[in-house]
Amino acid sequence: MVNQQDIQKFRKEIDRIDDEILRLLNERSKSVIEIGKLKKESDSNANLHTPGREAEIVNRLMAQNQGPFPNDAIRPVYREIMSASLSLEGPQKVAYFGPAATFTHLACIKKFGASAQYVPVNSIKDVFDEVERGRANFGVVPIENSTEGVVNYTLDMFVDSTLLIYGEVLLEVSHNLLSKTGRLEDITKIYSHPQPIAQCRHWLETNLPQVPVSEVTSTARAAEICATDPTVAAIASELAAQLYGLKIIKARIEDNVHNFTRFLVLSKKAPERTGKDKTSVMISVKDKVGALYDLLRPFASHGLNMTKIESRPSRRKAWEYIFFVDVEGHIEEEPVKKALEEIKGRCLFMKILGSYPAHN
């Protein structure tokens, strides 16, 4: 038999602790507001969001956590605390390739929390434009998917843009089959964005081989269609189901369970060095034998780990290519600095896209 008296005693203790947490959160907020004022006095255009400091706080707390509160829960809890705190310092506007409930929207929330102001725009180009014109503090764009590969349009935008990469977000992408009724037998047509369709191809062919699948501009648009037609389904996120009042027919229908998308955070300003950083550069090489080898050799000779290389046509001259390279380390660190100095003398041009905190 449940002892209600003991339960009530523990609930009173929880209430007391919650009251104390609330008091401390308000004390913390007062200090945050003062820091915001000092930042603005020093630089009126300063980024209030400092990823290095956030990582420092979370890593310190995780290191000293003795439980039973789970370590994995510390990051999302403090992400929301810091998001709410930043909103007290000033509005944090984040532009993203919309509409709402897309995976880019989810990546934004994972990075900046629920208290930021999110501005959905119609294209990746519009994300760059919003940040360049100062209408948003940050922008978030997809750069690559572990199944479908790189997002070429994002790479191409960096050729002429003055923006810097401020951070990255790695998001596990989970696709769900959604509908108004939640019944598989009601479905006569399925809508989604081309990438989720490709990532769920085997599941669709196995489970719904006779149901036609149509492409739309986004997973959110697919969910919007479903909200008004009980005979159609959408492949979209759980957030889309919540926003559009849909039911999940089948969760996690992606063919590859290890399906991740990497997103980049854009800003006019560079973030602070954190000690666990990544540098991205754009390089155009001379058209000659061994050009690619000459490009890569300085990274190896200076002991640097290159995590990505991607080539794109330069669009300026036939058979001339631009290489996008990610390397571990910060531009202020000597090995990175020396390697890039060597490469600069061997290439047609080089553009440093930013040194920023690696995904944590």
Catalytic residues: 261, 263
Q: How close are the terminal C-alpha atoms of the chain, in Å?
A: 46
- Spatial neighbors of 253 by CB under 8 A, at least 6 apart, are 175, 176, 177, 200, 203, 204, 207, 235
What's the Rg (C-alpha) of the chain? 24
Q: What angle do CA 88, 43, 165 make, to 5 degrees?
A: 85
Strands 321-328 and 277-285: antiparallel
Q: Phi, psi (5° rounding) for residue 214?
A: -120, 145
Token look-up 């810091």 returns 82
What gap in Å lies between CA 189 and CA 269, rounded to an integer?
46
Question: Collapsing DSSP states into helix, strand and coil, what is residue 239?
Answer: helix
Q: Which pair of tokens denotes residue 335?
A: 């090995």
Over the range 95-120, which residues count as b (16 or more CB within 10 Å of their CB) and which as e?
A: bbbbbbbbbbbbbbbbbbbebbebbb
Token look-up 């209600």 returns 4
What gap in Å lies between CA 70 and CA 121, rounded to an integer?
37
